[in-house]
Structure 1
Amino acid sequence: MPDSKQEQVYNITDSDDGFSDISKAYLISKRCMDLMFALIGVVFLCPVYLIIALLIKIEDKEGNIIFRQERVGKNGKLFYMYKFRSMVSNAEELKATLLEKNEVDGPVFKIKNDPRITKIGKLLRKTSLDELPQLFNVIKGDMSLVGPRPPLLEEVLEYTNYEKIRLSVTPGLTCYWQVGGRSNLSFEEWVELDLKYIRERNIYIDIKLIAKTILVLFGSKGAF
């Protein structure tokens, strides 16, 4: 039985306004592509994983290498998303003292030059290497390579019914706004781009977004 928090989330996608009209062939092909690329990525990136883990531990021996955070997935299902830890070990506790400095509109919290970010964390975020552990989320099926980024529960509870439509598909590692502005976009623009993807998605668009993501991985000015 889900707890009361989960029940709140499970009820948020009762109406998708026709956004879910998609072929089973596409969904099967998308899942096969997710598994293939994610497994290949994990194998070939093993040395990178080890180097990043070592650098994180050298800077902060107390904290964990992997940061695990509860996120909201398809149809409101809760899951734990993985990232390389890019902040100090008590970052969540410090968040309350920084809320007034939020630089993003809508139910999202982000600030440039966040004092909680470690030195190695700045590099990981700049290059999006902190997101690499999410390949395991893709393998598990909690995420896809392409789709709307999975939000926090506290953000979802502030969504309008229109904004909740972005939860009607499996969340992804990358999406339109990840390759076209990232944190420089407003929350409203994020939502519109996510809904654009949900309406238009197909294998060609997925492959194109994956290719664009690889091109902008290093040195993205919108990442923070």
Structure 2
Amino acid sequence: MALPTAVAFLATGVAHPVQQVVAITVIWVLVGLAASRYAPWTWDEGAPVGPVVRDWLVLLGALAVLRAASGFGDTPTAVLALCPALAVTVVCRKAIHRRVLAVRRRARGLRRVLVIGEPGAVDAVVGQLAERTDHGYVVVGACVLGEGDVLSGVPVSARLGVDTPTALDEDAVPVAEAAEALGADIVFVATDRHMCGDRLRRLSWALHDRGRRLMALPGIVEVARRRVRITSAAGLTLLDISAPTRRGLPTLLKAATDRAGSLLLLMVLAPLFAVVALAVRMSSPGPVIYRQARVGRNGTPFPMWKFRTMVVDADRRKGDLAAANEHDGHMFKLRRDPRVTSVGRFLRRYSLDELPQLANVLLGHMSLVGPRPPLPEEVARYDEVEMRRLSVKPGLTGLWQVSGRSDLSWHETVSLDLRYVDNWSWTWDMTVMARTVRAVLDGRGAY
């Protein structure tokens, strides 16, 4: 914050630049402290732009109050000088977050966790944490309620009774000893009918008195933190979970971004369209554009356009290759599909065959970001959970495209799509589009 602001002030020749930079920097640090931006757990939330922008606006408000109260500073000039500082802050946070993720992927910088719960709940927690590496926790042991078997392989350090203990330390002593022996930093409690209310409250007393942190797991999954609000009633702690965004200003902003972005990209990429069309025409006989029926929002069919990457009778030959399908779900994928032309293989690797879908976005059939557009025969085999993928418009790109594409299992594909459907936001769309550039250049999973 200090360096770009100082450069801007010196370049504009304002009065007292050093004093203003010092004041801005001090206020910025205080705003960050008040909002807990420097706490270690903030990196578990990623590096969202929204909180940084909100803090920046609070900084501007504080500077305006300071000027009104004392006449110190130049607010209009400060606004212009702080714009580069905002950009630098966002870039730095993104870079640090990528560094944090890289360290965690090497199993470093993790917090050691002791899990308390019934055997099935312990297995569920361990499995959920093991699926991804974008968090800072590693399970080192468990204290299990009851006598059931733990199938996840995590060491069982103690067994707790299912009945509410009569003595205050009946739970606390074995849990504290297990945490001490394993060097656990945090205790996760999977709450259920046996571990709740006063029993959980007493356990929290004991752990906090011994310097251990406790986190209660309410059992909900794949809900973005911004959708959760903590409230209370009659001594009960309540999690107020807001509904997924389906209307209002965010959806209008998304629609405007889709139309404006697709129109701009169509104009900018027009020369590339011509080159690709010529390559497709010269590589094999048949039309340049391949038209295929896909299913959009709420099950509405629409024609989707792509540059042709296969021979003209590819659809007829699909049945002959069904037994060779390498995907474990409803999609049909072959790494070495004999129907794909040599030019088509190149286009698929760098996703150039999907450029005509910008016209689908412009016409409102698709969005720039969303789940993968499915085929009608795939949708016919969907269950109720998978049908939820159709709650939003399919996207030209999405979490599936930037997370491995065809290398993902069907379960991983559905999980990514449902996470997006329930938690999408405009800023998240911008992040996915930025990641798309890297995914396209990498070409992993594209075939």
Length-normalised TM-score, structure 2: 0.45
Q: In structure 2, which of residues 409, 426, 429 is the aligned counterpart of residue 203 of structure 1?
A: 426
Partner of 2:403: 180
Deviation at 1:188, TM superposition (A): 1.1
1:95 partnered with 2:318: yes
Is the 1:20–1:168 contact (alpha carbons within 8 Å) kept by the matching residues of 2?
no
Percent sequence identity over matched residues?
45
Q: Distance in 2 between matches of 1:22 and 1:69?
A: 27
Q: In structure 2, which of residues 357, 361, 383 is the aligned counterpart of residue 134 of structure 1?
A: 357
Deviation at 1:42, TM superposition (A): 0.4
Partner of 1:42: 266
More strand by percentage? 2
Q: Distance in 1 between matches of 2:279 and 2:440?
A: 20
1:159-207 deviations in Å (ceiling 9; x for gaps): 0011000001111011112101111111111111001011111110000
Partner of 1:13: none
Length-normalised TM-score, structure 1: 0.89
Partner of 1:115: 338
Q: Distance in 1 between matches of 2:282 and 2:345?
A: 15
Q: In structure 1, which of residues 35, 52, 59 is the aligned counterpart of residue 276 of structure 2?
A: 52
Deviation at 1:23, TM superposition (A): 3.8
Is the 1:128–1:218 contact (alpha carbons within 8 Å) kept by the matching residues of 2?
no
Greater relative CO, 1 or 2 (CA 8 Å, sep 6+) = 1
Structure 1 alignment gaps of length 5 or more: 1-17
Give secondary structure in 2 for the equivalent of 1:113. coil
Deviation at 1:22, TM superposition (A): 3.2
Give secondary structure in 1 for the equivalent of 2:401. coil
1:120-170 deviations in Å (ceiling 9; x for gaps): 000000000000000000000000000001100000000001100000111
Partner of 2:391: 168
Q: Distance in 2 between matches of 1:19 and 1:77?
A: 23
Q: Which is higher, the Rg of structure 1 or of structure 2?
A: 2
1:84 partnered with 2:318: no
Partner of 2:124: none
Partner of 2:253: 29
Give secondary structure in 2 for the equivalent of 1:81. strand
What is the number of equivalent residue pairs in this alignment?
A: 206
Structure 2 alignment gaps of length 5 or more: 1-241
Q: Distance in 2 between matches of 1:147 and 1:78?
A: 16
Partner of 1:14: none
Partner of 2:439: 216
Q: Distance in 2 between matches of 1:141 and 1:107?
A: 26
